[in-house]
Amino acid sequence: MSMRTLLVAAALLLLAVAYLKPAGSPSKGPFPADQARTPGVLNPDVTQANIATTICKHGWTRTIRPPTDYTNALKVKQMREYAVGGSPTRYQEDHLISLELGGHPTDARNLWPEPYPRAAEVDSIENDLNAKVCSGSMSLDEAQRKESELKHSDG
């Protein structure tokens, strides 16, 4: 076998390993949401003027939360797009802009596969931002911006 053939074979092997090894696997911990794939989309039914009857009303998010069969199917598809491996149970199909802050419930550009345990950690941050918006200490727009920045930088 010639040296050139060996080099080509080695290069192909390295490419195959790189392709099969996911870039954001759960073993590597959290990864940020991709700005292009998951820019975040707002729910047009939620505005600063109506937060008392939407995001600040107890139980409101249950009325708009998408069914799990929708989010589970989308999670598997997006795991492939994000090139992450492992079991889908190791991820939460999370809203980039959470429902608690007026994110669109079903638009795929507002959903992404966020690995556990980071997904659970972010839930408490979302609840805190919602409390600030509902108390009037932070605007809805500011909270949405903070959440987007967090998920695009830290996951």
- Each residue of 84-118: pLDDT tens digit? 989 999 999 999 999 999 999 999 999 999 999 99
pLDDT at 121 over 50: yes
**In the structure, what pLDDT confidence band is assigned to residue 152 with cuts at 50, 70 and 90?**
very high
Q: What is the mean pLDDT of residues 45-62?
A: 98
Q: Number of structural domains, the chain? A: 1
- Contact predicate 124/146, CB 8 Å: no
Structure tokens that stand for 29 in this block: 């911990």
- The answer to whether 26 and 115 are in contact (CB under 8 A) is yes
For residues 145, 34, 99, 128, the Cα torsion angle rounded to the nearest 10 degrees is -50
What is the pLDDT at residue 18? 42
Containing domain of residue 59, as a range? 3-153
**Residue 30 confidence (pLDDT):** 73
Q: Average pLDDT over the chain, rounded to whole? A: 87
Confidence of residue 26 (pLDDT cuts 50, 70, 90): very low
The bridge status of strand 111-115 relative to strand 91-95 is antiparallel
pLDDT at 1: 60
AA identity, residue 10: A
In sequence order, what are the beta bridge partners of 92?
114
Judging by beta carbons within 10 Å of its beta carbon (0-12, 13-18, 19+), is residue 75 exposed, middle or buried? Answer: buried
